[in-house]
Structure 1
Amino acid sequence: MTDEQPLKAAIIPVTPLQQNSCLIWCTKTMRGAFTDPGGDLDRLKAAAKQQGVTIEKLLVTHGHLDHCGQTGMLAEELGVPIEGPQEEDRFWISKLEDDGRKWGFEGKVFEPDRWLDDGDTVTVGDLTLDVYHCPGHTPGHIVFHHAPSYFAIVGDVLFKGSIGRTDFPRGNHQQLIDSITGKLWPLGEQTAFVPGHGPMSTFGYERKVNGFVADSVLGN
């Protein structure tokens, strides 16, 4: 993004699962947030320091270990609040320590300072991001969208060329398709998004070529 943009973002892959944590910040105030800080906390803190960003909160899309396993630890260390996900993911967050033992990296249960729901907003510096509840991959999954920048952070709802898994407890394939077509597509084809894993894409590109949700696949 150019220097004139009100929002800047840097993708920092974390955990053995290479999950795309994001450092997002308001260029006017240089205050920012980490999205889905699941692990590799030293790497995240170094990125904020390098950019000169003061972290004021942590934002979470959903309750899976790679996305939020160490969010509570970072919040405690930095003395900042956690916002998100939607409360239906409470059961995932309650299992973070058990899941951490299974996957071989530390997870810690936490209680967000604010559960988020469809239609809520969050602030980062002078920026305001809209919150969309997009269940399917998990029941409490949310997406963050900054409309002026045509920019979204979608977690594991949508990927370049693919969609989120729905074979986890309380996953629902049709619900996920409905979330993508009903919540994400209306945000505009030019909107660029950071997925939970892999490269960025745009909603317009996925509507053309994604083998799961392209208009031609869904008969739109």
Structure 2
Amino acid sequence: MKFERFIVGMGEANGYVIYDENTLDALIIDPGDEETVFIKYIQKHGLKPKEIVLTHYHYDHIGAVDVLKEKYNCPVSIHKKDAAGLQDPKINHSFRGYRRPVAIAPDRILSDGDIIQAGSVVLTVIHTPGHTPGSVCLMVKDENMVFTGDTIFDDDLGRTDLEGGSAESMRRSMVNKVSKWSDEIRIYPGHADSATMAFVRAKNTEYLDMLR
């Protein structure tokens, strides 16, 4: 299994391509903008995108979805509670300065515990509402890594004051889901750098406050 991070768009969001290096089957996670960056990487490595997986519906994580979906004819997945937001530019295009609105009808509706697979790469969907009602994290099977979108970062948590956000839901996600992850697990968030859960437990004061 291999993966690559791309920092794209005015919000400097992280998008990822993760793939089976033998079959070259790939998953695209949160392609927020600059579709040519993803396309060049996919072409360079001869990858075969099987699915576009979204951790939530916010504009800075979905800006290149429509172009990539059309180019690779692959389905788009999002949690059922974020499906409406993905299809409504008035909700997901709520920030000034973004290049264009995006409205996508998802092809696959995700629920907690669902499995997403491309070759030997297997992701488990973990529903972690708070930043949005349908925010999810994606746990990689047999690897100590989780793609966390805007749920949790190295030193803070995703905002809960935007459309659909909820501080109480975020607290439950931290207590009931994220706090169960071992120190060895490394999170790969929707912005900024990766970190181990050991680092999060030592430095992330917002996370620690939620647990209290």
TM-score normalised by the chain length of structure 1: 0.89
Counterpart residue number, 2:135: 141
Which residue type is aligned with residue 125 of structure 1?
G
Which residue type is aligned with residue 22 of structure 1?
Y
Distance, in Å, in 2 between the alignment partners of 1:65 and 1:34 is: 16
Percent of residue pairs bearing the same amino acid type: 25
RMSD of aligned C-alpha atoms?
A: 1.9
8 Å Cα contact 1:189/1:204 also seen in 2: yes
Deviation of the 1:108 alpha carbon? 2.0
DSSP 3-state at the match of 2:11: coil
DSSP 3-state at the match of 2:83: helix
**Residues 1:27 and 1:180: Cα distance change in structure 2 (over 3 Å):** farther
Distance, in Å, in 1 between the alignment partners of 2:98 and 2:181 is: 37
Deviation of the 1:187 alpha carbon? 2.9
DSSP 3-state at the match of 1:34: strand
1:17-166 matches, within 5 Å, as 17-84=11-78, 86-96=79-89, 99=93, 102-166=96-160
Distance, in Å, in 1 between the alignment partners of 2:179 and 2:44 is: 34
DSSP 3-state at the match of 2:199: helix
Counterpart residue number, 1:16: 10
Name stretches of at least 5 consecutive residues in structure 1 with no aligned partner.
1-6
Match of residue 183, structure 1, among 165, 177, 180: 177
Distance, in Å, in 1 between the alignment partners of 2:58 and 2:113 is: 22
8 Å Cα contact 1:134/1:143 also seen in 2: yes
Which residue type is aligned with residue 100 of structure 2?
E
Deviation of the 1:174 alpha carbon? 2.1
8 Å Cα contact 1:97/1:109 also seen in 2: no
Q: How many residues align?
A: 211
DSSP 3-state at the match of 2:50: strand
26-35 vs 49-58, which moves further: 49-58
**Residues 1:181 and 1:101: Cα distance change in structure 2 (over 3 Å):** closer
